[in-house]
Amino acid sequence: MDIPTTPTDNNGLPSSETQTNRRRRKKSIVWEYFTIETVGAGSTKAFCKQCKRSFAYITGSKLAGTSHLKRHIALGICPVSRQKNQMTPFTPGSKTGATDAPKRRSRANSGYARVSFDQERCNHDIAKMIIMHGYPLHIAEQLGFINFVQTLQPQFNLVSGNTVQNECVGIYLREKQNLLNLISGIPGKVSLTVDLWTSNQNLGYVFLTGHFIDDHWNLYRQILNVVMVPSPDSGDTFSQAILTCLSDWHLEGRLFTLTLDQSLSNETIIGNLKGLLSVKNPHMLNSQLLLRNCYARVLSSLACDVLVAMRETIAKVRESVKFVKTSESHEEKFVQLKQQLQVPSTKNLSVDDLTKWDTTYHMLVAACELREVFACLDTYDPDYNINILLEEWKQVETLCTYLKLLFDAANIVTAPVYPSANVFFQEVSRIQMELMHAAMSVDPFVSYLMRPLYEKFDKYWENCCLVLAVAVIMDPRYKMKIVELEFNRIYGENAETWIRIVDDGIHELFLDYMMQMLTLPETPMDEGNDSIIKTEAPEEASQEGSLLSSVDGLQDFELYISDITGGQQMKSELDQYLEEAFTDRVEDFDVLVWWRLNRIKYPTLSRMASDILSISVSTVASDSVFDTEIKRMDSYRTSLGPATLEALICAKDWLKYGSFPPPPAL
């Protein structure tokens, strides 16, 4: 390969054009700050006059240019230049001390000297970055991070891990106050979910998440507390953690429901929490608003049970997939055979992750589509010697049918926006009915596989069906009729009893809300006349007040009796709502928007609906819905103090949604 040389004239000297170009380059303003020296054959370097650092300039026939030299001065990278604060800032395209503006300036470099550096803002942004991405607090002290930041901004002063920690806690406290203002301003109640993480030190970490709807009918799901507990098996541990949460967020008397992680469902813990709920929420269906099991964890438990029941066959499929995916030559032969057999498939083969049951489901579905290829693979690739029988493939297909049922049901809670409670009744009742039919199947394999699942899920259904039924009644597309339909399918001739329980329950709940909403009207009174009444005619004032109170009390009593007896003169909001026509079932229907638009028509019922629709049936985050194991706190996080750990986890959750809105104006 020919190397281009510098053009010369007839005498062997550089041509005039080359000399002109070099003179033009030499006139650059950077040469006020740099000198050029030859350091070897064909190598010339530029040296900073202040810090003496060398930079590539000419190497052989390659000219490095001056952009990197300009950055050295313009960005303050030169340490000597940075220390000389009195020195006039360098602006590309101008000379030191020159008063005339240059004729042409590079738009990319013209703002270097005008950018003001804000150390406090940098500290804040580093702390925010650490919170949002879960980086360790000491990242600001690591050499790689320091070099990177100083390359971008040499003026940045190094910060210690303690400084970063304090900044993170400061962000947490500011966001906590904003969230506290928001919660204090909501008209309704707050439901809590309780989830348990563990650690290698056998410590427990209780995650308490609040679910509520604000006065604009926006649904919130926010981690409120992360409480470290030394004895996760203690019955009093979780009651104390909940009491801490209620105290921190001023929720005494505002707790609506509790939803528990499945691992907390021992009778001692349940007994303690039922007692707590009945004290903190005495008139809400006699503590029946305690959901003993997490929806997502129940589905994961069912999936794990059925996968274990077929573990030997699944292991064969897994080894077959590994054979294809862990060798390029094996995968190439597999693809060639698939093309020869013309086997259609829409799924890609992938080895499953044993900690996520949905990955096993996807692996089995993809393998079933390609079972014809696997059946012939031993003749095409002699290294393959796994024998999966036709009957085993049929069993895997049956398994995938029921895993799909669980997968679709679990997918509801994987969306970034958590769904309102009305969507769960139909999914849960569908699973109950499908498993019941499968358990009674005439196919012995299906019955064997599904009966244990039905028995486990039936206990979950029994615990949650009342709450879920009340929630779906708050959906104007379905109301009570969907409950009647599903209960008739599930309970048959006994359906009427269960329908009556739900009907009585929702009317009882509405009466509780109505009594809470009824308040004696205050008589408007001028402050000046108030003293006259008290001094000149106390008896008349007392009698008048007593008379007004009696009248108002009778009005409240008549309304109360009317709702209890279902009198013809005045129907309750609940009865009016149930008797009105159904709302059309459209794809983009938003139940929260509907209640926001109808809150004036149904003032009491809408307050009840906001609390019911904010109930959460799942305790885990969307990225943990398919987990097969309880979450474990990593060793770095367990090394942090409890307060710091809580601050980092809560602030990360809050920052996902930006800043919380200000409280409503009074």
**Which residue matches tokens 């079932």?**
585
222 and 300 within one domain: no
271 and 387 within one domain: no
399 and 369 within one domain: yes
pLDDT at 97 over 90: no
| Residue 213, CA distances (Å) to 183, 219, 295, 365, 380 in order | 9, 5, 21, 39, 61
Q: Of 500, 498, 478, 502, nearest to 489 (Cα)?
A: 498
* Domain-ending residue, one of 43, 75, 107: 75
Q: Could you give the CA distance from residue 77 to residue 469 in angstroms, rounded to a whole number?
A: 67
Q: What is the domain range of residue 270? A: 118-282+634-665
Least confident residue range of 281-290, 352-361, 412-421, 608-617: 281-290
Name the β-bridge partners of 43.
40, 59
Domains identified in the chain, total number: 3
Is 661 part of any domain?
yes
pLDDT at 235 over 70: no
420 and 277 within one domain: no
Q: How confident is the model at residue 272 (pLDDT cuts 50, 70, 90)?
A: low
User: For the residues 72-86, what does the mean pLDDT come to?
Assistant: 57
- A 10 A CB-CB count for 424 gives 23
349 and 256 within one domain: no
pLDDT at 76 over 80: no
Q: Of 328, 310, 418, 424, nearest to 364 (Cα)?
A: 310
Least confident residue range of 237-251, 428-442, 481-495, 499-513: 237-251
Is 86 part of any domain?
no
Q: Could you give the CA distance from residue 596 to residue 606 in angstroms, rounded to a whole number?
A: 8
Q: Which two tokens stand for residue 262?
A: 């499945």
322 and 193 within one domain: no
Q: Give the pLDDT confidence score for residue 160 in this predicted structure.
A: 86
CB 190 within 8 A of CB 204: no
231 and 353 within one domain: no
Q: How confident is the model at residue 528 (pLDDT cuts 50, 70, 90)?
A: very low
pLDDT at 479 over 90: yes
Is 216 part of any domain?
yes
Is 435 part of any domain?
yes
**How many Å is the Cα radius of gyration of the chain?**
36
For residue range 132-173, what is the model confidence (pLDDT) as tens digits? 999 999 998 889 988 888 888 888 888 888 899 999 999 999
299 and 276 within one domain: no
pLDDT at 90 over 90: no
Q: How confident is the model at residue 545 (pLDDT cuts 50, 70, 90)?
A: very low
Is 49 part of any domain?
yes
- A 10 A CB-CB count for 382 gives 8
Is 138 part of any domain?
yes
Q: Of 363, 295, 134, 324, nearest to 622 (Cα)?
A: 295
Q: Give the pLDDT confidence score for residue 115 in this predicted structure.
A: 60
pLDDT at 567 over 80: no
Residues in the chain: 666
The pairing of beta strand 255-260 with beta strand 190-198: parallel
Q: How confident is the model at residue 253 (pLDDT cuts 50, 70, 90)?
A: confident
Amino acid at 2: D
pLDDT at 62 over 80: no
Higher local confidence (pLDDT), 261 or 564: 261
Q: Give the pLDDT confidence score for residue 582 in this predicted structure.
A: 92
Q: How confident is the model at residue 89 (pLDDT cuts 50, 70, 90)?
A: very low
Q: Could you give the CA distance from residue 590 to residue 419 in angstroms, rounded to a whole number?
A: 10
Q: Is 351 exposed, middle or buried (0-12, 13-18, 19+ CB in 10 A)?
A: middle
Q: How confident is the model at residue 91 (pLDDT cuts 50, 70, 90)?
A: very low
- A 10 A CB-CB count for 490 gives 18
Highest mean predicted confidence (pLDDT) among 5-14, 67-76, 213-222: 213-222
309 and 231 within one domain: no
Higher local confidence (pLDDT), 27 or 213: 213
Q: Could you give the CA distance from residue 260 to residue 294 in angstroms, rounded to a whole number?
A: 6
Q: Could you give the CA distance from residue 538 to residue 141 in angstroms, rounded to a whole number?
A: 75
CB 291 within 8 A of CB 257: yes
Q: Could you give the CA distance from residue 336 to residue 344 in angstroms, rounded to a whole number?
A: 13
For residue range 322-369, what is the model confidence (pLDDT) as tens digits? 999 999 999 999 999 999 999 888 888 999 999 999 999 999 999 999
Amino acid at 626: F
Q: How confident is the model at residue 563 (pLDDT cuts 50, 70, 90)?
A: low
CB 73 within 8 A of CB 57: no
Q: What is the DSSP letter of 8?
A: B
Least confident residue range of 229-238, 303-312, 624-633, 650-659: 229-238
- A 10 A CB-CB count for 206 gives 23
CB 87 within 8 A of CB 70: no
User: For the residues 575-591, what does the mean pLDDT come to?
Assistant: 91
Higher local confidence (pLDDT), 262 or 331: 331
Instruction: Classify the C-alpha dihedral 293-422-485-479 as positive or negative.
Output: positive
* Domain-ending residue, one of 490, 508, 526: 508
Q: Could you give the CA distance from residue 199 to residue 221 in angstroms, rounded to a whole number?
A: 25
pLDDT at 125 over 80: yes
Q: Could you give the CA distance from residue 413 to residue 427 in angstroms, rounded to a whole number?
A: 12
User: For the residues 422-431, what does the mean pLDDT come to?
Assistant: 95
Higher local confidence (pLDDT), 87 or 569: 569
CB 644 within 8 A of CB 173: no
Is 575 part of any domain?
no
Q: Give the pLDDT confidence score for residue 537 in this predicted structure.
A: 38
Q: Could you give the CA distance from residue 296 to residue 625 in angstroms, rounded to a whole number?
A: 5
Q: Could you give the CA distance from residue 232 to residue 416 in angstroms, rounded to a whole number?
A: 30
461 and 320 within one domain: yes
Q: How confident is the model at residue 568 (pLDDT cuts 50, 70, 90)?
A: very low
Amino acid at 580: E
Higher local confidence (pLDDT), 125 or 565: 125
> At CA 265, angle to CA 260 and CA 271, rounded to 5?
95
452 and 355 within one domain: yes
Portion of the chain with pLDDT greater than 90, in percent: 50
Q: Dihedral angle at the C-alpha atoms of 439, 441, 444, 446, nearest 10 degrees?
A: -60
Average pLDDT, the chain: 80
pLDDT at 553 over 60: no
Is 287 part of any domain?
no
Question: What does pTM read for this prediction?
Answer: 0.74
160 and 122 within one domain: yes
For residue range 17-53, what is the model confidence (pLDDT) as tens digits? 444 444 444 467 778 788 888 877 778 888 888 877 7
Q: How confident is the model at residue 586 (pLDDT cuts 50, 70, 90)?
A: confident
* Domain-ending residue, one of 508, 523, 555: 508
Phi (first) and psi of residue 289, to 5 degrees: -90, 40
